[in-house]
Structures are given as C-alpha cells and as structure tokens.
Structure 1
Amino acid sequence: MAEAQSADPGLYAFQPYRNRPRIVWPGGKTVAVWVAPNLEYYEIDPPANPHRKSWAKPHPDVVGYAHRDHSNRVSHWRMAEVMSRHGFPGSVSLSVALCQHHPEVVEDGARRGWEFFSHGIYNTRYAYGMDEAQERAIIEDSIETVQAATGQRIRGWLAPALTHTPRTLDLIAEYGLDYTCDLYHDDQVGDVKVTRGRLASIPYSLEVNDHYGFFVYNMSPRDYADTLIRQYERLASEGAASGTVMCIPLHAYLIGQPHRIAAFERVLEHIAGDGRAWIARAGEIIDAWRGQQAGDGA
C-alpha cells in the first residue's frame, strides 16, 4: 500500500468517468470542440540541453528546421483560412519568440479572434534541468510578450516540447494562469492540485495530434481525418450524459500541406454541420466549466 501511494504524484483526484457531477455546455451541446494550432519557432542551432538533443541530426539540422518553417511561410495561412471558413477559432499553443521572429503570423491569429497561450519561448528550449528562477523567467516573459503583441494575458500553458519540472504546474497557477494542457488523462475538464491558487486541466490530445498521426502512427490524410471524425462521434455521443471535450492539436507544417488540407477540411465540415458541437476557445471552455463548480456561482 505504501508503495502504491508513493507512486501517485497526487496531481489530481481520481474520479471514475460515470460517477461525476454533470457538465452542461451552452446551448445543450454535448461536446466542446477546440482547435489548438501550435504556432512554433524552432532554432536551427539552439543551445545544447544535456538532458535532450534538440535535433536528431548533428546541429545545424537544416532539413528539420526548414520543414517546420513551412508553417510560418505558407501552411499557417492555408490552415487558418480553412478554420475561419468553417467557424473554428484557434486556441494557439504559441512559441512566444514567434512574436519577434514572425509577428505577421501572430497578428493574423489575433485578427481572427484566436486565443493565445504559452508553449514556452522556443520549442527547442527544454524545461529539463531548469532551476526555479529560470522557469519563472520563462513564465514572466510569456505573459509580458504575448500581452504586448496581442493585448491578451495568457491563461494557459503547454510546456515547450512537452518538457516539465516538478514545479511547473504550481508556478503557472501562482502566476494566475487558469489551465494546463499538459495532462492527457481525461476527456473532461478537471481540477489540478496546486500549492497556491487554482488550476484546471483541459483535455489536450496526443492520440489525435497531427504530429502523432503522421509521424508516429504513419496515417494517411484520409486515415487521420477518419480518426478525428470517430473521436468526435464518440465524444459527442457520450457527452449527452455529461459534457465532454475534444481537442484537435495541429501543426500547420503537417496539416497545412497541400495534400492534407482537404481531408482536414472534411473534418471541420462534419463537426460544424453535426449540431452537437460547441465550437469554442480553450478559455471559454474553462469558464463554462468553472461556472458549474460548487463555489463558483453555479
């Protein structure tokens, strides 16, 4: 028993899926759908982190850098136009340095009414090995830079390259952020245990992330689109009992390629036309959920 207890990091309470307070989404919708474009900046030759290499090839990795740079030159615009055409705002996982390197991309998202949260400064700078002062500096930089670039104060966090320290969740809650995307443990919003303030976990997804779909599972565009539709259909059905959340995490240099974008557009058409989806931004989902919690004016 003692071993089982010590192995649990205690990040959140255990709640069986079918024994929870009911969640109701606006308009009686059964599933909240949010799209999370990762607008990122990768350094071609970043400082070495002793815990993890930035590129599989020896630096500088021109191929890896240039492949990802397609996002900011071409495929962001292709992806964003399809999303806007079907009424899907983005909730952007932002490499904050993009505000300086390619402000046009950030400005385009802001004009479309997209929400921004931090994905660290660069996606080639990892949290592994950081001390508390370094981690605080990244959080503060994220808040200040996004505020200056977009007028928004960030409300959420997705750790750069999904790298963390044991203090990350406590720190972002201390700075007043509302949600983390770094826990992949549920299909509904839930509370995270933090030392100060409060923090919610919003469902993000590795399973239907386009990076995993194309790089890990080797899906064709058609297979990936079918996977997203199956994910949506199941969550919309189960959400009739208690509202679920579907996240579609994207990387424009993948989903915005000419041979993939039509399959993705088919998914958006399906979801928008179904009638059960509340198409929302991440912060709106957190606010609707918080409003139903005891002590939050429910």
Structure 2
Amino acid sequence: MRAVSGYERDLVGYGAEPPHAGWPGGARVAVSLVLNYEEGAERNVLDGDAGSEGYLHEIIGAPPVAGGRDLNAESMFAYGARAGFWRVHRTVTAHDVPLTVFAVGQALERNPGAARAMGAAGWEVAGHGWRWIDYRDVPEEVERADIARTVQAIGRLVGRRPVGWYTGRTSPRTRRLVAEEGGFLYDSDDYGDDLPFYVGEGGRQRLVVPYGLDANDFKFLIVHGFTTADDMLAYLVDTYDTLHAEGADRPRMMSVGLHCRIIGRPGRIRALDGFLRHVAQLGGGWITTREQIARHWLTAHPPADPQG
C-alpha cells in the first residue's frame, strides 16, 4: 500500500478485498489483550516536569497542578502499580491466556517485581517510551535516547528485549527512530485498520500491528465513556461477535486496551473476566500476543516489495 503521491495519508488501505489472515487453527479473530504499564512515569515535578499529571486518572477534567505535586493523582497512579496490576495478573493467569504489555521504561524501573512477574508469566513486553509523556515536542536526540534506554531496561528487568513498540503520543519522528533502532518486528502507533499492514520507512517496508482506542478501558476516564463494567463488557462482546461473524470469510484482529489503574479496580475487572469467558464459550478466537501476530503476518503475508 502506498499513499497518494504528495499526500502522506493512506485512506484506501486494503479496500473491499482485505487479505485472508490465515490465523493459526482457522481462527476467525486474533484477539490481542494489551496492558499499558505506565504508573510511576507520568508527569511529576519530582521528575523535573513543570506540573502534575492531568490525564487518565479518576478526577475527570481536573487541571494539572502547575509547579507542584498533586498527591491525589499520584496515589491514583500508584494504585495501578500497587494493586491494579496484580488483580489483572491474577485474572489473566487464571484464564491461562497471553497478553502484550506496553511498558514504560521508567515505570518498570520503579517496580521491578511487576517486571519479573510479566516475564515469568510469559507475557510479551513491548516498549512504550521511557516516560509516559507526549513526545511531540521532545527533541529528536532525547527521543532516540529514550527508545534505547527503554529497550535496555526491559531486557534487563524482564529478561528479553522488546520486539514491539507503541509510544501512543508520538512525534513526527517516532516511526523513523523505531525503524532506525533496528531490533523491532513491528510498531503499533496506528489505529487505522482491522489487520496488520506495511508502511514504507527508511527504505524498507515496516510492519504495523494496529491498536484500538474503542475497545479500551480508558473510556472509563472520559466524559460519555464507560460507567460500569457492564458497559465495557457489552462493547467488547459486541465487537468480538461482529468480527467473529465477518471472520467466517475474512478473519480479523481485535485489540483490547487495558490499564492497571483502570481495569484493575475491583468494580471493573469483571469486564475483562466476562469477555474472556465469552470468547472461550463462542470459540473462534486466537488470543495471542502482538509479537505472534507480527511473526505470523511476516511469514504468511510478507511485503510485496520489502525494499520500497
């Protein structure tokens, strides 16, 4: 796929005839559970930031504290590392399914026990930046160094270097810098499709395993989003059922976005548990890591022109 000459967006994609994914076992839907691990790397004056974190905590719409600490926000993030992560860990391991962690390097550094638990569970740990910040205005040399620092931290703390990357709040340079690092199979900084696809970067075709912000627990922390676990569970079930029906002819991929401090709350975890029960009951799902999706796609659907 190529964008129209002179216009850097591809609004065509696979069009009316997407490729047959050919997921292992004839699965109709490849289900990617993603746990974002960010706690301890959010904005904080203790780390030299200009103010406190004002995004994705329980006091919706509260402005960040300029030049000082917001102890309420700090403790809400701390909940994700202290309690929420372990509730998610218990739920996922009870179902004996894999997931991918989008891990912020500094967050792992501040809770090495969680990093060891991820590795021991056999979860894929992908890079999610060194800090949980917006990299749009970060100098290129700092972003490059942060990518390298994150790779090193994950390798040391988890026991295996990351092969996937997701910044989330990217700069215009992020994909190029990830490609230049040289050790990644894929990145997930895209929301534009139900299947993996290739983009040209650095003279090569790079694999994108797209993510999603619709089937995502962050909607508990925005206005007019999810309110109860039933809200999220209904949306996850509806999404899976639609993709399952379409997958009879054209298998698809489903991303489920999770956060320790959000889904890890006792009133919300039932959404994850119920969804996993539903997938097991209906069948047709390949619950897997993004690394395995990437490796399958690279083998079954290699780029037509790897160099261009």
1:202 aligns with 2:200: no
Secondary structure of the 2:286 match is: strand
Tell me if structure 2 keeps the 8 A contact 1:181–1:202. yes
- Give identity over the alignment, percent: 26
Q: Hey, what does 2:170 align to over in structure 1?
A: 164
1:74 is aligned with what amino acid? A
- With normalisation by structure 2, the TM-score equals 0.86
Q: Hey, what does 1:47 align to over in structure 2?
A: 48
Q: What is the root-mean-square deviation in Å for CA atoms of aligned residues?
A: 2.1
Distance 1:80 1:132, change over 3 A: same
Tell me if structure 1 keeps the 8 A contact 2:198–2:303. no
C-alpha offsets along residues 114-134 of structure 1, whole Å, 9 cap, x if unaligned? 0011111121x3312222211
Name the CA distance, whole Å, in 2 between partners of 1:19 and 1:283.
25
Q: Hey, what does 1:88 align to over in structure 2?
A: 97
Which range moves more in the overlay, 233-242 or 32-41?
233-242
Q: Hey, what does 1:187 align to over in structure 2?
A: 194
Distance 1:38 1:254, change over 3 A: same
Tell me if structure 1 keeps the 8 A contact 2:217–2:262. yes
Secondary structure of the 2:272 match is: helix
1:204 Cα deviation after fit: 1.1
Q: Hey, what does 1:112 align to over in structure 2?
A: 121
- With normalisation by structure 1, the TM-score equals 0.89
Tell me if structure 1 keeps the 8 A contact 2:32–2:289. yes
Tell me if structure 2 keeps the 8 A contact 1:174–1:197. no
1:200 Cα deviation after fit: 1.5
Q: Hey, what does 1:74 align to over in structure 2?
A: 83
Name the CA distance, whole Å, in 1 between partners of 2:229 and 2:302.
43
1:47 Cα deviation after fit: 3.2
1:61 Cα deviation after fit: 1.5
Distance 1:120 1:294, change over 3 A: closer
* Equivalences for residues 250-261 of structure 1 within 5 A: 250-261=258-269
C-alpha offsets along residues 53-86 of structure 1, whole Å, 9 cap, x if unaligned? 8433213121112111111101111111111111
1:129 is aligned with what amino acid? D
C-alpha offsets along residues 98-141 of structure 1, whole Å, 9 cap, x if unaligned? 23211011111111110011111121x33122222112101111
1:83 is aligned with what amino acid? V
Secondary structure of the 1:80 match is: helix
Which range moves more in the overlay, 126-135 or 85-94?
126-135
Tell me if structure 2 keeps the 8 A contact 1:86–1:272. no
Tell me if structure 1 keeps the 8 A contact 2:166–2:187. yes
Q: Hey, what does 1:29 align to over in structure 2?
A: 27
* Equivalences for residues 1-298 of structure 1 within 5 A: 6=6, 8-10=7-9, 14-40=12-38, 41=40, 42-45=42-45, 46-48=47-49, 54-55=53-54, 56-58=63-65, 59-123=68-132, 125-159=133-167, 162-176=168-182, 177-219=184-226, 220-294=228-302
Secondary structure of the 1:147 match is: helix
Distance 1:54 1:192, change over 3 A: farther
Secondary structure of the 2:296 match is: helix
Q: Could you tell me which runs of 5 or more consecutive residues in structure 2 were left unpaired when the two chains were aligned.
A: 55-62
Tell me if structure 1 keeps the 8 A contact 2:35–2:102. yes
2:267 is aligned with what amino acid? H
Secondary structure of the 2:105 match is: coil
Give 4+ residue runs of structure 1 displaced > 4 Å after superposition: none
